[in-house]
Chain A
Amino acid sequence: MSFWEYVGNRRTQLLLDTYQHASAVFQCMVVATVLGVLLGVLTYRSEWAGNLAITVTATILTVPSLAMIGLLIPITGLGVAPAVTALVLYGLLPIVRNAIVGLRGVDPDLVDAARGLGMSRMARLVRIELPLAWPPILTGIRVSTQMLMGIAAIAAYASGPGLGNEIFRGISSLGSANAVNKVMAGTLGIVLLALVFDAVYVLIGRLTIPRGIRI
């Protein structure tokens, strides 16, 4: 069976896996973004808290994803729970780091001017600092998403959702005629999803980054 015949035959299964992969990564990215920006906002003003946040998330990133999932399984059991937890944890690092770097990089004169205009702390944060720090945060989100695409594939080994299942089905049927097709379908599907997500982020960047600070 050629690759395209295989894809045609297994259309429903592949589409379901693709949808689940995209949806898992997307939902975890939303949670990771909210948590990551929140952590950044809470810690960037303090030298040691900010550095601690960066160090802790960087340490999490050093942990191989299969080991992380392995440690989560006794706590959460198999399935979606360990996959989602691992994805959110790994997604945090680039966002936290870039949020802190971005927020610390905002020109203090601008914040001071805003204070002079009578803006509250909250208003300064929401209307001045976060918009100025948004481009690096968005970069962090892009980096995270790309990473999560691959980690989600590994999470399939612990019965997680998505295209990783296709790859592991291929691995467990090594030698059979369809092994290559399965692995190829899973791998190419993930590459395709990663490229689509990246294109969407470029678009989001175009729409949300104020013209004045566009590079």
Chain B
Amino acid sequence: MSRAGTQGPGGRTGHAGTDLSPPDGTRAVDIERRPPAPTAPPARLTWQKLTFLPATVAIGLLATWLWFRGAELDSIARNAIADGNVWLRLRQHVELTAISTFFVLIIAIPLGIALTRRRLRPAVPVVLAIANIGQATPTIGLLALLVIWLGIDTKAALVGIVAYAVLPVLANTIAGLRAIDPTLIEAARGIGMSALGVLRTVELPLAVPLILAGVRTALVLNVGTATLAYFGGGGGLGDLIATGINNQRMPVLVLGSILTVALALLVDWLASVVELLLRPRGLEGDA
């Protein structure tokens, strides 16, 4: 994911950078138009793209529901899903994912921007090295240590989920900001823009696709890590899966697993749609 993410914008800006025109809007549009496009630009959203996955997931969920209604449940299995437990766990899972993603983004993106500023740049290799070791740490181990440290609580689970996703998103943000053609930044500085102005009008807009990719990465990672929140007392759909495994009740296990899979696929799909919709028009074509 990071590979494609960093190459895309880099290639595009490299192309624009060879044209030493001042980065004012009108000229840029002109340059974009000059080579007559051989074909119409591909639509960013096709009906197939929009509907295939949700339709598949809906059919899968319907089939699961029909099967589950017919499945024979003994008292243990019935207990595991009694009192709206399924809805509760689903809601917890969505909440864990949303809250943790929010924190990942407000930590990782500003930190990534700060680390690419001139003064903090020497710290980047250190941070990336820590990020690499962090990736090697098993999520479940990290979560367990946090639970021991902070106590069995939703908070411990949240901290674990956030800690695990911050590093990849941070590494992605740094890579993306670094991939921006330095001549563009130099040109912007040359026409008298302040460092803040360059960041706001040149660097951040060019890094939007990458930041959006970061959001998607964080969401997908967090849906996954949230299944482990159960082991830290954070609830979530992991509760159904673990109960199913512990008690050897296959219907509960399968129900929990399928709901988790459906949620993960839908979240990824939603993020991809948002990614397509928010991508700046000027950067199109590198998807």
From known contacts A146-B135, A158-B245, A170-B144, infer whether A64 and B265 are also in contact, taking CB-CB under 8 Å: no
B133 touches A191 (CB 8 A): yes
Considering the chains assembled together, what is the distance between the CA atoms of A64 and B267 in angstroms?
A: 12
Interface bin, chain B = 35 or more
Within A56-86, the residues touching B (CB, 8 Å) are 59, 62-68, 70-71, 73-74, 78
What is the chain A residue whose CB lies nearest that of B265?
A: A62
Q: How far is the CA of A153 from the CA of B141 in the complex (A)?
A: 8
The residues of A that contact B254 with a CB separation of less than 8 Å are: 70-71, 74
Q: Are B245 and A183 in contact (CB under 8 A)?
A: no
For the complex, what is the distance from the CA of A187 to the CA of B144, rounded to whole Å?
A: 9
Chain A residues lying within 8 Å of B244, measured Cβ to Cβ, are: 70
Specify the chain B residue showing the minimal Cβ separation from A158: B245
CB contact under 8 A between A65 and B137, given known A70-B256, A73-B253: no
- B residues 215-247 with Cβ under 8 Å of A? 220, 223-228, 231, 237-238, 241-242, 244-245
| Contact yes or no, A183 B223, CB < 8 A | no
Cβ-based interface call for A30 (8 A): no
B-facing residues in A144-176 (Cβ within 8 Å): 146, 149-150, 153-154, 157-158, 164, 167-168, 170-171, 174
Interface presence of B258 (CB below 8 A): yes
Which residues of B sit under 8 angstroms from A67, Cβ to Cβ? Answer: 227, 237, 241, 256-258, 260-261, 264
Q: Does A190 lie at the interface of the complex (its beta carbon under 8 Å from any beta carbon of B)? A: yes
A179 in the interface, Cβ–Cβ < 8 Å? yes
Are A183 and B268 neighbours in the complex by a CB distance under 8 Å? no
A119 at the interface (CB under 8 A from B): no
Q: Residues of A within 8 Å of B, CB-based: how many?
A: 38
Q: Are B257 and A71 in contact (CB under 8 A)?
A: yes
Inter-chain contact count A-B, CB under 8 Å? 121
Contacts of A167 in B (CB 8 A): 138, 140-141, 144
The answer, yes or no, to whether B98 is at the interface (CB within 8 Å) is: no
Is B116 at the interface (CB under 8 A from chain A)?
no
Q: A66-B241, A171-B231 are in contact. Are A179 and B261 (CB under 8 A)?
A: no
Expressed in whole angstroms, the Cα–Cα distance for A150 and B140 within the complex equals 8
Cβ distance B58 to chain A, nearest Cβ, rounded Å: 16
Query: How many angstroms between the C-alpha atoms of A170 and B137 in the bound complex?
Result: 16
Alpha-carbon gap, A183 to B141, bound state (A): 6
Task: Please state if A187 and B145 are interface contacts (CB–CB under 8 Å).
Answer: yes
11 A-B residue pairs with CB within 8 Å = A62-B268, A67-B227, A67-B257, A70-B241, A71-B257, A74-B253, A78-B245, A101-B3, A153-B140, A154-B228, A187-B144
Given A63-B224, A171-B144, list of 13 further CB < 8 A pairs? A59-B265, A64-B260, A64-B261, A66-B238, A66-B260, A70-B254, A70-B257, A71-B258, A73-B250, A73-B253, A153-B140, A183-B144, A183-B145
